[in-house]
């Protein structure tokens, strides 16, 4: 789809979800632009980078370098949080993790679950148990009780196609859980192009609450819940980095030992508590930068 739209005039591009023409350019980064589709109400990146793997660090899921222990601890806390989300809806059964990385999340679910981990064919994962396949082309006889997209749906060009495929792999009354940045959140509106969660050009889909609900409904999925999630081990950090970008403070580099880096570190330590307060306020107003959406393959539909 993106290939065809490359030949069109710059301001008239097709939404990868709806194949619907849109001209609302909301952000121009020079190389990649953000557009908003007025049909499905989601943002999307255009053009899509030709060689996406080029934009991923060598080891995307691991935490080498200084403070790696702290970072891996925070990452593990996040996995426990995710486990609790899933167990609220699904007590046992088969789970598919799309965009599983090294399959860390699946291990937290325990013996009542059989987890299939799927990752892009281009991903540099070491875990041999992770199936490396293009989800949209992946053929399997398995059916799942739950399919999770944990910070992965924003990395694909057309979430609508992914939800359609996911629904086809669900058992009756099975669930789809999507955790992703919320493009229409207050934090996104506050920081605009400085928002860390934009993560251009790795994030191709910029999903809104309404937009993701529309994509689910189009795929005959019942919207069970959409609400912001307060992730203390993660969100205040993202707020602080975004704020430092906005204030034009040099990004913190843990490997560098210089006066300017010391200034950045001091500023980060001063701003981090502000991040904690801001995230708490966002959560009180259900405006968290990260959203959890739960959809169900309902027999009624």
What is the binding site for Zn ion (CB under 5 A)?
15, 17-18, 37, 39-40
Minimum distance from residue 152 beta carbon to Zn ion (Å): 19
Query: How many angstroms from the chain centroid is the CA of residue 60?
Result: 14
Indicate the residue among 18 and 96 with the shorter CB distance to Zn ion.
18
Minimum distance from residue 94 beta carbon to Zn ion (Å): 31
Indicate the residue among 11 and 250 with the shorter CB distance to Zn ion.
11
Minimum distance from residue 168 beta carbon to Zn ion (Å): 21
Tokens of 210: 């309404």
Indicate the residue among 40 and 204 with the shorter CB distance to Zn ion.
40
Minimum distance from residue 237 beta carbon to Zn ion (Å): 31
**Enclosing H/E stretch for 265:** helix 259-284
CA-CA distances (angstroms) from residue 272 to 235, 258, 269, 297? 10, 21, 5, 40
Indicate the residue among 96 and 214 with the shorter CB distance to Zn ion.
214
CA distance 260 to 226: 42
Per the rule left: phi > 0, alpha: psi between -120 and 50, beta: everything else, 207 is beta
| Total Cβ atoms within 10 A of residue 77 | 14
CA angle, 261 as apex, 259 and 265 as ends, to 5°?
Answer: 115
Minimum distance from residue 247 beta carbon to Zn ion (Å): 34
Tokens of 95: 């789970």
Indicate the residue among 37 and 115 with the shorter CB distance to Zn ion.
37
């Amino acid at each position: 789809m993106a290939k065809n739209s490359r030949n069109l005039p710059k301001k008239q591009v097709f939404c990868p979800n709806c194949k619907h023409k849109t001209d609302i350019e909301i952000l121009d980064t020079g190389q990649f632009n953000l557009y908003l589709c007025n049909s499905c109400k989601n943002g999307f990146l255009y053009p899509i980078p030709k060689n996406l793997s080029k934009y991923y660090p060598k080891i995307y899921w691991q935490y080498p370098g200084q403070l790696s222990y702290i970072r891996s601890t925070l990452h593990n806390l996040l996995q426990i949080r995710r486990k609790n989300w899933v167990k609220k809806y699904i007590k046992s059964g088969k789970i598919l993790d799309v965009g599983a990385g090294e399959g860390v999340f699946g291990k937290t679910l325990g013996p009542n679950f059989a987890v299939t981990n799927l990752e892009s064919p281009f991903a540099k994962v070491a875990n041999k148990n992770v199936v490396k396949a293009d989800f949209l082309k992946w053929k399997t006889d398995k059916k799942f009780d739950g399919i999770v997209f944990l910070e992965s749906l924003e990395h694909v060009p057309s979430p609508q196609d992914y939800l359609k495929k996911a629904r086809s792999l669900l058992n009756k009354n099975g669930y789809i859980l999507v955790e992703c940045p919320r493009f229409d959140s207050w934090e996104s509106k506050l920081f605009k192009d400085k928002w860390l969660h934009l993560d251009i050009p790795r994030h191709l889909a910029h999903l809104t609450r309404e937009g993701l609900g529309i994509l689910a409904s189009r795929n005959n999925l019942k919207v069970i819940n959409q609400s912001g999630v307060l992730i203390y081990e993660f969100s205040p950090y993202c707020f602080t980095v975004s704020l430092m970008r906005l204030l034009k403070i040099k990004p913190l580099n843990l490997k560098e030992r210089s006066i300017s880096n010391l200034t950045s570190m001091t500023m980060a330590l001063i701003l981090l508590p502000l991040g904690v307060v801001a995230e708490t306020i966002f959560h009180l107003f259900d405006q968290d930068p990260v959203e959890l959406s739960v959809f169900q393959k309902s027999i009624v539909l």
